[in-house]
Structure 1
């Protein structure tokens, strides 16, 4: 089954997102901030990344920039409670594949993930 990495500083949000993914049979790993996320990306080479924008230490935009500079091919879904058009455009230019508003509902999350994973094959 596919490996998904959730990078979000909120324990609550990680639980909300990880539960339905695990129920669908995905292997789920979690990172608590951007630095932790980049380290886990190197270690795990996940099939898909769910990335929060607003985090301490290193935010989602900084993570995207680093991934973009390294030629990232892993699909990235941005998780956000509010995103401005300029932020959305910047994320897309840096390689983000989709945006989901928090709180994320399983009926929205699962189809986006399965679609992106299918395109990757």
Structure 2
């Protein structure tokens, strides 16, 4: 059986520090990535099981990066995360095919519930 893997794409290093121990406790190998450019590079040769994707980056919006993820591999599960309260972001994210949309701040119980629903136990 192949190992489950996660990529955390967020320019906030603190989020990775919170998520990595929880994901590793579930035996999910985790790679934190801090820019969309870096994520694009990794996606050229790495196909994670799940991606945690923030929306706001200095070089652009994560929501516009969803298509790149699907082009790399349509099977990658996407959990979109944002502190932005604009309703259009959630609507567009769902149109683009994200599996779950979370507004920051969220708690670890919410993440665990989402991972359970994605069968990433």
TM-score calculated relative to the size of structure 1: 0.84
Q: C-alpha distance in 2, partners of 1:63/1:102?
A: 19
C-alpha RMSD over aligned residues: 1.9
Alignment of 1:32-71 (within 5 A): 32-68=34-70
Aligned to 1:94: 96
Gaps of 5+ in 1: none
SS in 1 for 2:60: coil
Aligned to 1:84: 86
Higher percent of residues as strand:
2
Aligned pair count? 118
Range 87-96 or range 14-23, more displaced: 14-23
Kept in 1: contact 2:6–2:48 (CA 8 A): yes
Deviation at 1:27, TM superposition (A): 0.7
SS in 1 for 2:75: coil
Higher percent of residues as helix:
1
Kept in 2: contact 1:35–1:58 (CA 8 A): no
Gaps of 5+ in 2: none
TM-score calculated relative to the size of structure 2: 0.84
Deviation at 1:68, TM superposition (A): 4.3
Q: C-alpha distance in 1, partners of 2:107/2:91?
A: 23
